Chains A and B, each alone.
Chain A
């Protein structure tokens, strides 16, 4: 069985995560779209931490017999991987869009016929 203290810490940590995410969304520093996976992470961890019997049962399913809280770590890790993977897809999309914008800028600038004078271009960093 999961030690009570582990459950309490788990609940508090998940609540903290949920609150921080909500606060970031409220302050418009995090878009809902990117908050969803984090909220899901928080809620799942909260449920698994609070529902001690459930955690035990799930631990039994996956063959963790000695220390059920290990399942908490595993689930948390899995969700973090999901979030990171999601971000990789977001970054890829942004990269493509960024290049396309640069290409459009180059084409339009040529069409407008007054590109920035070469001499005043700041050197790339």
Chain B
């Protein structure tokens, strides 16, 4: 391996207050990476802030939701021929200094998809509210069951991909509330999954896209998506074949 090209995909919707720092931190932690901010039709100056910090900005013409935005970044990674991609949220909840930790299993050739998990071995300090913790655990159990591998954190948006992973997610990525379903799709497509312990910060600005009113829709939608995804047939990826 001579040089590995790395892209950091940062979906952002109205995150002008945080996205600049996110871009800076990625560039510090991972100077070789191209930082791509996907602006999901923000109404503030998210795109301008990101661009001023030297990020490549993909501007969606209208709001397509987090999944569609993230997928835009993966498509960019695919088309520009990147070997590796990491996804971090534009609100700053993911710590860019942990990117090397996420890439380690890819570098060792052990995985195609690495999830930054808050609950790998119970050493994390993240303690979400009870309802949320319960939901996270139920989804993790369900995905583990349906995907045939133990997954500890299916709702994490902090992930790293190799080429096979980029190819899969560029083609196939759910559009809203994507993380849980995407994990199952990856497992069923034969991607090798690794999980590393990460810490996540509290949000700095803005508010989580999952408000209390939307939780019910979230749960039902994800459950249906999981059910359907486990009934669907996914082509085994050539790149992931071994």
Report A's interface with B, CB cutoff 8 A. Answer: 95-96, 99, 102-103, 105-107, 109-110, 115-116, 118-119, 123-124
The 8 Å CB contact of A123, one of B43, B60, B76, is B43
Q: Which residues on the B side are within 8 Å of A119 (C-beta)?
A: 45, 48
Q: Which of B43, B56, B72 gathers most chain A CB within 10 Å?
A: B72
Q: 1/0 contact trace for B55-91 toward A, CB 8 Å?
A: 0111111111000100110011001000000000000
Inter-chain CB contacts under 8 Å: number? 52
Apart from the given pairs A102-B72, A103-B75, A118-B45, 20 other A-B contacts in the complex at a CB distance below 8 Å: A95-B175, A99-B64, A102-B61, A102-B62, A102-B68, A103-B72, A106-B38, A106-B59, A107-B58, A107-B72, A109-B58, A110-B57, A110-B59, A110-B76, A115-B57, A115-B59, A118-B47, A118-B48, A119-B45, A124-B41
With known contacts A107-B58, A110-B56, A99–B175 Cβ distance under 8 A:
yes
Q: Which of B45, B51, B63, B68 contacts A103 (CB 8 A)?
A: B68
CA distance A103 to B77 in the complex (A): 13
Interface residues of B (CB under 8 A from A): 38, 41, 43, 45, 47-48, 51, 56-64, 68, 71-72, 75-76, 79, 175
**Bound state CA distance, A110 and B9, in angstroms?**
14
A103 and B64 contacting across the interface, CB-CB below 8 Å:
yes
Report the nearest A residue to B56, measured CB to CB. A110
B43-A124 in contact (CB<8A): yes
Contact indicator A106/B58 (Cβ below 8 Å): yes
Grouping DSSP codes into helix (H, G, I), strand (E, B) and loop, the A interface class, with mixed when no group exceeds half, is helix
Interchain CA distance A97-B45 in the complex, whole Å: 27
Given the complex, which residues of A lie within 8 Å of B59, measured CB to CB?
106, 109-110, 115-116
Q: A106-B72, A118-B47 are in contact. Are A124 and B58 (CB under 8 A)?
A: no
User: Contacts A106-B59, A124-B41; is A99 near B47 (CB within 8 Å)?
Assistant: no
A107 pairs with B79, CB closer than 8 A: yes
Closest CB of chain B to A96's CB: distance in Å? 8
Contact call A105/B61, Cβ cutoff below 8 A? yes
For A116, the chain B residues whose CB sits under 8 A away are 59
- Interface residue from B43, B56, B68 paired with A99 (Cβ < 8 Å): B68
CA distance A119 to B38 in the complex (A): 17
* B96 → chain A closest CB, angstroms: 22
User: Do residues B43 and A103 form an inter-chain contact, with CB atoms below 8 A?
Assistant: no
Ordered by A's residue number, 25 sampled pairs between the chains whose C-beta atoms are within 8 Å are: A95-B175, A99-B68, A102-B61, A102-B62, A102-B72, A103-B60, A103-B64, A103-B71, A103-B72, A105-B61, A107-B72, A107-B75, A107-B76, A107-B79, A109-B59, A110-B57, A110-B59, A110-B76, A115-B57, A115-B59, A116-B59, A118-B47, A118-B51, A124-B41, A124-B62
